[in-house]
Amino acid sequence: MPLDMVIGAQWGDEGKGRVVDLLSANSHLVARVNGGDNAGHTVTVGEETYKLHLIPSGIIHPSTIGVMGTGMVINPFTLVEEIEMLRKAGIEISPDRLWISDAAHLITPLHRLLDRAKDAALGAAQIGTTGRGIGPAYTDKAARRGLRAGEILDAEHFASRVRDHLQEGNRQLVEWYGQPATDIEGMAEDFLNKAAELRPYIRRIGPLVKSALDADQSVLVEGAQGTLLDIEQGTYPFVTSSFTVAGGVPNALGIGLYPARRIIGVVKAFQTRVGAGPFPTELDGAIAGHLRGTGENPWDEFGTTTGRPRRVGWLDLVLLRYTHEVNGFSELFITKLDVLSGLDEIQVCTRYRRRGRELETLDFSGDARLLDECEPMYEILPGWNADLRGCRSWDDLPKAAQAYIRFIEQRIGIRAAYISVGPERTDLLIGA
């Protein structure tokens, strides 16, 4: 039962796309199970850079099947655009290679309008959402009035449901947020036409995934966002609207409690965050600029989905211990070690000071109010100046870089199985 999971160990943007790209070369199915087009996975192959928001990035390998699970919320406009983009790049996308769960939910244009209006109405208390309708779509799902992908298969029923949804959303937009009414009929026609293009891809995925596992075919799960954005375990309320942790995967695939072979925690060699919320190790100034980059390269620290500059800071081992506790990582995949090159010294947060006490682990479940009270306490390690892009083995790394990896492994208690030293497929080495 070769079920492997790739899970973000921070606030997302850890580099999961390149991890999935590596592992999916030997996978039969590659599945996304949560989130929507607020996620962004970037994969660089030679001169080509693919930025994907919905389709599992493993589909770039010609032998894989992409699965979109029940926990996802799908914007048909975004998905059709991605399908067309990949086809133009020479990647085959067909109903044989892309499966959409009939229980996945849909994002409509009204969800996007409501998302932006609601966040704007919060003023200084804004969460900093992507404005892509994720929260309202999950709200409708929890309220049992959501639109599910399987409903697309019954055109007459679906058209009626869509119009009812748009009328109700339009009322909320006007009465709750003081926004102008929108053209329901034009919006309905466009949405129905686009959703109809997804009809051939929709199916019940649980039996298909279970059949693959029972046949000893490898299934790789590509987590979206990161553990610290989980709706239950993350830095609430500055979180996403879905689960992002390993525990939600079997339900989203409809396969029961299958044991995972590997749960790979992906962590940057430093820390980043997009949007509002607590960030104990956040930096500004010259070091922040060094970590973030200029935005001239697709792998610099600017959101794949939003384009917003990411907040950056030193690696936080207190939070990494917490995400390991929540997920039970079998190993770590450390990304962007090369970005630290050129720094004279590197600080690592190993514990917090809160209310006169020192904490090496959180004694609360990510509560943003309590995390804001935590002052980071650092240990300082020597930096290095060597360019790591050419490193292909552990022995190629400078001694200071090796010491940095060993420090993380010893403090978390897990091996770093892989280390990336650049954005391309080949910029990778195996841990010692």
Which residues have a catalytic role annotated? 13, 41
Q: Do the Cβ atoms of 156 and 185 come closer than 8 Å?
A: no
What's the CA gap between 36 and 79, in Å, rounded?
A: 10
Q: Which token pair is 90?
A: 């020479």
What's the CA gap between 257 and 394, in Å, rounded?
A: 36
291 Cβ contact partners less than 8 Å away, ≥ 6 residues apart: 270, 272, 283, 301, 312, 313, 339
Q: One-letter amino acid identity for 154?
A: D
Q: Do the Cβ atoms of 290 and 34 come closer than 8 Å?
A: no
Dihedrals φ, ψ of 134, to 5°?
A: -65, -55
Dihedrals φ, ψ of 426, to 5°?
A: -80, -10
Q: Do the Cβ atoms of 285 and 112 come closer than 8 Å?
A: no
Nearest to 407 by CA among 289, 275, 315, 292: 315
Rounded to whole angstroms, what are the CA distances from 28 to 6, 104, 362?
Answer: 15, 21, 38
Q: Which token pair is 64?
A: 């894989």
Q: Do the Cβ atoms of 219 and 29 come closer than 8 Å?
A: yes
Exposure string for 138-176, b = 16+ CB within 10 A, e = fewer: bbbbeeeebbbbbbbeeeeebbebbbebbeebbebbeee
Which contiguous run of DSSP H or E holds residue 23?
helix 16-23
Q: Do the Cβ atoms of 43 and 60 come closer than 8 Å?
A: yes
How many residues can be counted in the chain? 432
Nearest to 2 by CA among 207, 217, 200: 217
Residue with tokens 């081992």: 317
Rounded to whole angstroms, what are the CA distances from 385 to 57, 341, 356?
Answer: 33, 5, 38
